[in-house]
Amino acid sequence: MAKQDRAVRTRQELICSAAEVFDRRGFMSASLADISTGAGVSTGALNFHFSSKKELGETVQAAAEESLRYITTACTEARPSPLQTLIDATHVLATQFGENVVLRAGLGLDNDAAWDGGAELWLKWRSWVRGMLTIAEYEGNLADGVLPDDACSTIMAIVMGIESLGRKDAALCSRCVVTRFWTMVLPSLASEETRTEIDAAGSEVLARWDEHKRTGDDVAGPLTVARCDTCVDERLPDSHRR
């Protein structure tokens, strides 16, 4: 069992190291030697777990996709209004841009000209955002004349901008920035009645997220791998599985 645990730990450390190297240097310039060195293992140990750099990239993107799914699932658990769910998710996602190198690297590979993995994480995020806006339109939460596609394009531009600019200025990956965005957008996006029921700074979902992260109560799930702090093998609780 101890040997198996070491193998799991080594694999996760390699995923973390690969994400850091991809994030810093891009897929083309990333070397297996740098990745193995960052994980504190030999190139031979890396080759035991991963057959190629592309397989490492695919694994990083798979972990990033799991992180995205975890974020959206956690923010919908309390079943707030669709717009509040969207607000909460953008808050969590923005802070994860700064904290979660696997998520950041996975999204970065989507925009890397040298990468052809095809995970299309940004498209999956856009699909979820548009779904929330479609529900909001159906429930009468959107202001008159607002179309889900138009609102989705605006939100995507801001979120992708935060992710991109946050690589140069980590202060942009903050809830303060996200709150300012929603404060400006909501008067045009949401109906007057809906605006009285939602909070641009996020709902109690964010407080629960922060508390679980602080106490280590498994809220991070797959995000633990991305944070590279302990690299332990934590799994999603059953209530979060699909």
User: Which of 12, 19, 54 shows the shortest CA–CA distance to 35?
Assistant: 19
Hey, which residues does 190 pair with through a beta bridge?
142
Q: Is the pLDDT of residue 186 over 60?
A: yes
Domains of the chain: 64-240 (1.10.357.10)
Q: Dump pLDDT digits (tens) for 6-59.
A: 888 889 999 999 999 999 999 999 999 999 999 999 989 898 999 999 999 999
Q: What is the DSSP string of 158-198?
A: HHHHHHHHTTT-GGGSSHHHHHHHHHHHHHHHB-HHHHTT-
Instruction: Please answer whether residues 36 and 121 qualify as being in contact, where contact means their C-beta atoms are separated by less than 8 angstroms.
Output: no
Distance CA 192, CA 83 (A): 13
The answer to whether the beta carbons of residues 32 and 70 sit under 8 Å apart is: no
Q: What is the pTM of this model?
A: 0.84
For residues 195 and 186, is the Cβ–Cβ distance under 8 A? yes
